[in-house]
């Protein structure tokens, strides 16, 4: 095995159609959503090899999650658990504000454990990617993330983390030390300025995050683009001007673009160009991962050389 290996919870997604209060929705769609599987799907769509590991329930939502991730070209290691598959309910209250309610406490995905980890596949990966979401789900899920990271590090596998702080899962006080510890063990880190401020001074987030150990630090800042410090070289990229249809999933698409290019051996500036284009494309289509772009679509959007 080679390519990207990631693990975490993917949820069933109930999304209200249209914009307005949930009670006035004219219909709903059902899909899937999870930061780690979003990245795995994004990498696969851009031509990379990717594997996702997670627990799902013995229910229709769990079956859908496993089949849909696999259908997107991702090697899928879905462990069936006796607990239910978690759900999220999302609606756009206005054109500028999206609300998401989670129903995941005690879910199958939250019961991820170190025993679920396939050591041989972890050590054979090129990149292990984790997020700050999974450690917030349960003690066993946190232990699984840290064990995956230590196993990968011992084997010389590159470790990537997206801080991805979720205030609905844990407090800043509880999250800060854990996320700092994870970042200190990573080779690549992605964070927003607000996420970085959980555990480093905010005056120069890329430099402060790099002091913890990662050689590649990428601070993603939405409509303002990104700032990176990669092997000591500072790089910036502005966001692409696009019409926003659905802002959810942009950060995951950005990460997928960067990691797909890294797997392909692209230089740092090209990785950021692809990441910016993938994030921009994601907001022009509805859904968390269904509209993940391929290389030709990114090239059409940005005019950049992203056809590796």
d(CA 59, CA 88) in angstroms, rounded, equals 15
d(CA 305, CA 224) in angstroms, rounded, equals 21
**Would 122 be classed as within a structural domain?**
yes
CB–CB of 125/49 below 8 Å? no
pLDDT of residue 214: 98
**Would 102 be classed as within a structural domain?**
no
18 Ramachandran zone, left/alpha/beta (phi>0; psi -120 to 50): left
Q: How many domains does the chain have?
A: 1
pLDDT of residue 266: 97
Q: Which of 162, 252, 261, 288 is catalytic?
A: 252
pLDDT at 304 over 60: no
pLDDT at 5 over 80: yes
Q: Which residues form the domain of 148?
A: 4-9+35-86+109-302
- Which CATH number fits the domain that encloses residue 171? 3.40.1190.20
Closest CA to 55 of 134, 111, 14: 111
pLDDT at 243 over 80: no
**Would 22 be classed as within a structural domain?**
no
Token reading at 286: 């509805």
Classify burial at 167, counting beta carbons within 10 Å of its beta carbon; exposed 0-12, middle 13-18, buried 19 or more: exposed
Q: If pLDDT is split at 50, 70 and 90, which confidence band does 11 have?
A: very high
- pLDDT, average across residues 166-188: 96
pLDDT of residue 307: 47
pLDDT of residue 288: 66
Residues 255-291 pLDDT 10s: 999 999 999 999 999 999 999 999 988 887 776 677 7
**Cα 105 from chain centroid?**
20
**Would 164 be classed as within a structural domain?**
yes
Higher pLDDT, 243 or 163: 163
Higher pLDDT, 5 or 302: 5
CA separation, residue 17 to residues 8, 83, 225, 244 (Å): 27, 29, 29, 16
Question: What is the strand order of the sheet 11-19 is part of?
Answer: 28-33, 11-19, 87-92, 98-103
**Would 287 be classed as within a structural domain?**
yes
d(CA 124, CA 53) in angstroms, rounded, equals 15
**Would 290 be classed as within a structural domain?**
yes
**Would 179 be classed as within a structural domain?**
yes
CB–CB of 145/134 below 8 Å? yes
**Would 16 be classed as within a structural domain?**
no
Token reading at 224: 């303002």
Q: What is the mean pLDDT of the chain?
A: 92
The reply to whether 162 belongs to the active site is: no
231 Ramachandran zone, left/alpha/beta (phi>0; psi -120 to 50): left
Residues 220-233 pLDDT 10s: 998 889 999 999 99
CA separation, residue 222 to residues 72, 170, 239, 271 (Å): 26, 23, 7, 17
Closest CA to 109 of 83, 90, 142: 83
């Amino acid at each position: 095995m080679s390519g990207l290996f990631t693990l975490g919870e993917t949820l069933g997604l109930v999304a209200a159609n249209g914009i307005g209060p949930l009670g006035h929705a004219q219909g709903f769609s059902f899909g899937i959503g999870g930061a780690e599987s979003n990245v795995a799907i994004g990498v696969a769509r851009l031509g990379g090899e990717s594997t996702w590991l997670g627990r799902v329930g013995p229910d229709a939502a769990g079956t859908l999650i496993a089949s849909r991730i696999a259908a997107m070209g991702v090697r899928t290691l879905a462990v069936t658990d006796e607990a239910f598959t978690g759900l999220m309910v999302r609606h756009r209250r206005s054109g500028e504000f999206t609300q998401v309610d989670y129903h995941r406490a005690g879910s199958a995905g939250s019961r991820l454990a170190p025993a679920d980890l396939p050591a041989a596949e972890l050590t054979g990966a090129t990149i292990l990617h984790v997020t700050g979401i999974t450690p917030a789900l349960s003690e066993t899920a946190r232990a699984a993330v840290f064990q995956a990271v230590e196993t990968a590090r011992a084997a010389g596998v590159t470790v990537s983390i997206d801080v991805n702080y979720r205030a609905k899962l844990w407090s800043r006080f509880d999250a800060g030390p854990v996320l700092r510890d994870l970042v200190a063990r990573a080779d690549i880190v992605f964070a927003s300025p607000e996420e970085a401020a959980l555990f480093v001074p905010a005056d120069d987030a890329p430099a402060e995050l790099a002091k913890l150990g990662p050689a590649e630090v990428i601070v993603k800042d939405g409509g303002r683009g990104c700032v990176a410090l990669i092997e000591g070289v500072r790089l910036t990229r502005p966001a692409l001007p696009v019409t926003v249809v659905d802002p959810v999933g942009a950060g995951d698409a950005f990460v997928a673009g960067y990691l797909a290019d890294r797997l392909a051996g692209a230089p740092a500036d090209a990785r950021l160009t692809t990441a910016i284009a993938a994030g921009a494309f994601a907001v022009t289509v509805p859904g968390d991962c269904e509209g993940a772009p391929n290389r030709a679509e990114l090239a059409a959007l940005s005019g950049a050389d992203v056809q590796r």
